[in-house]
Chain A
Amino acid sequence: MKKLLWDTRTVFLRELMPTLRAPSSLIWTMGQPLLFLILFGSLLAGSQGGVSPWQWFVPGILIMMCLSGPMMSGYTLLTELMSGSFERILVSPIDRSALLFGRTLKEFLLLLVQALLIIAVATPLGFELFPLGVLAGLILLVVFGSGLIALSYVLAIASRPSGELFYGVTQMVMFPVLLLSGVLLPVQSGPDWLRVIASLNPVSYLVDAERALFAGNFAEPAVLHGAVTAFGFAAVGLFFGTRAMRKGI
């Protein structure tokens, strides 16, 4: 156990190292979702009546980051798999699960900082903060994200040596999943067939749950559906992820 913690810390610190050594790179990582928030949010603010568009859009943008972060993380792993720097770590006695945990931890730290930043920017614009709801929402994102990161690693490992599979899947799947989850635009206004597809998209359950939580509503059934989805993803991801890491590469 002590070794697992130490190894997780080693992997975590290595993942964080490029950012620590060049903090200016954070401007790009942090700036993009903020830009999205401000541009998209302002557009929505003009088009929607009733509920504050910020209340609707802030959870959406967090989910967007929760989808793109793991993808980027898988991409980094893929580069390392193809270059040989991952192999040199595999030949060391480092714990195989720590390779997964350390990387996941780093993604979360990034997600958390981004989330706080977005909330800090959105609050003066009219986003109403329900601290407990936000906390619960973030925990759910962490659970969902850990499954996604693990799956993205499985995909990266399966994509060797060319990496084509990874590029293909992330490009073909990510955008439709994002669009059909209602993150950017409400799916309810689409035609029936679109809504059917959206209801098959696990991410849309998470989006509904996050929106409920960010509005402070714990009692909605959407929260339960979202939680089941998130934990389901985490269980599947961690199972296949640790299996892939242990099996050897």
Chain B
Amino acid sequence: MIHARKLAKRFKVRRGGVVEAVRGIDLDVERGQLVAVLGPNGAGKSTTLRMLTTLLPPTSGTATVAGRDIATDPAGVRDRIGYVGQLSSAGENYRVRDEIVTQGLAYGLSRSAARRRADEMLDLLDLRPMALRHPGSLSGGQRRRLDIAIGLVHRPELLFLDEPSTGLDPHNRANVWEHVLRLREQYGTTIVLTTHYLEEADTMAERVVIIDNGRIIADGTAGGLKSELAGDSLEVTTATEADALRAADVGVFFGDVTRESTTVRVRVTRADTALPEFLRVLGEKDVRAVTATSARPTLDDVFLALTGRSLREDEVAA
């Protein structure tokens, strides 16, 4: 569905400066996949999406999207894809249904077909009661669903969503996701979305592509990335620091150890089997553990392992 090779975008900024927003991306997405592109703000996620959707010409590199070349046949790409941008798609002076109908006309549907399709979309996204309202009177979640309705009116085989859930409260976020997943089930739409919410990428997408500084730094299933790049961790606290030191000595035989006063953390491949073993050895050495927990890694640990930075700081700031 998508085949991108060495896709790059360089922006000229004031005073002759140059920003390398995207530094050569290779990406292949098969039909029916749900791919989450994860990365901090300014990593190049949106720029990549905007190139793939023909909104922005790449500085170099090539890509075919839905079987068409973005450089030589942008109109062909536009016919086949849907795109929901970061900002609100509907004009403020328009009624909800009118905007969906207009978008249908823009894709070459006849007036009657566009109206029928608009009503289908209103039903699919539970917007029917809002049909005659203006976007300004909708809630954040309803607005986002309207954006998706507008992006889907021509039933694209491939849908791009740029930060579909940013700025929504958890309830609305879950609701938008429910609709995205329903859509996928009903029409088999291939979906590529960007997000900087870790949990979202983790639980919803089958495939996670991590972008940082304009490059893809990891690509795989969430589970695969975590076991490959981060691994599980064990955490044991002891009553005294002396005990913690001895626990750390034992931990070295299991994996990388970090210690903070009476807390000892060990990176392991499988925490569920390593923890009992670790505790058994500690018992043999007469080190008493006060608490013992095991943790599966998060995608943040993956990002941390790859870049030495945490994505969370970014999430808090946003």
A residues adjacent to B (C-beta < 8 A): 3, 6-7, 10, 13-14, 17-18, 21, 79-80, 83-85, 87-94, 248-249
Contact = CB atoms under 8 A, between A and B. Distances in A.
A3 B105 CA distance: 11
A180 B287 CA distance: 92
Interface string B32-75: 00000000000000000000011111000000000000000001
Contact of A17 (B56, B94, B108, B151): B94
A85 B105 contact: no
27 contacts: A10-B105, A13-B102, A13-B105, A17-B94, A17-B102, A18-B94, A21-B95, A21-B98, A83-B87, A83-B91, A84-B85, A85-B92, A87-B85, A87-B87, A87-B89, A88-B83, A88-B84, A88-B85, A88-B150, A89-B106, A91-B83, A91-B85, A92-B103, A92-B107, A93-B75, A93-B106, A93-B108
A93 B85 CA distance: 16
Given A84-B86, A85-B91, A17 B106 contact: no
A248 to B, nearest CB: 6
Contact of A87 (B55, B75, B81, B154): B55
B114 to A, nearest CB: 9
Q: Which 3 A-B pairs have the closest CB atoms?
A: A84-B87, A88-B89, A92-B106
A200 B83 CA distance: 47
Interface residues of B, number: 34
A167 B87 CA distance: 22
Contacts of A21: 95, 98
Contact of A14 (B75, B84, B102, B107): B102
Interface of chain B, helix or strand or loop or mixed? loop
Interface in B126-152: 147, 150-151
Given A21-B98, A93-B107, A85 B56 contact: no
A14 B147 CA distance: 17
A92 B76 CA distance: 10
Contacts of A89: 103, 106
B106 A3 contact: no
Q: Which of B55, B94, B106 has the most CB of A within 10 A?
A: B106
Interface string B245-261: 00000000000000000
Contacts of B95: 21
B203 interface: no
B318 to A, nearest CB: 18
Nearest to B153: A92
A231 B89 CA distance: 36
A94 B303 CA distance: 40
A222 B145 CA distance: 57
Interface in B217-275: none
Contacts of A17: 93-94, 98, 102
B120 to A, nearest CB: 18
Q: Which one of B85, B86, B93 has the highest number of Cβ atoms from chain A below 10 Å of its Cβ?
A: B93
B98 A248 contact: no
Contacts of A14: 94, 102
Contacts of B83: 88, 91
Contacts of B75: 93
B78 A88 contact: no
Given A85-B89, A91-B83, A10 B102 contact: yes
A115 B84 CA distance: 41
Residue among A17, A90, A91 with most chain B CB within 10 A: A91
B293 interface: no
Nearest to A11: B106
Given A85-B91, A87-B85, A88-B150, A6 B108 contact: yes
Contacts of A92: 78, 103, 106-107, 154
A91 B88 contact: no
Interface string B288-301: 00000000000000
A248 B55 contact: yes
A87 B50 CA distance: 10
B4 interface: no
Contacts of A93: 75, 78-79, 106-108
Nearest to B83: A91
A247 to B, nearest CB: 8
A159 to B, nearest CB: 15
B163 to A, nearest CB: 12
B90 interface: yes
B63 to A, nearest CB: 15
A13 B111 CA distance: 12
Given A17-B98, A91-B78, A93-B79, A248 B85 contact: no
Nearest to B92: A83
B89 A249 contact: no
Nearest to A247: B57
A88 B98 contact: no
Nearest to B54: A91
B287 to A, nearest CB: 59
A205 to B, nearest CB: 36
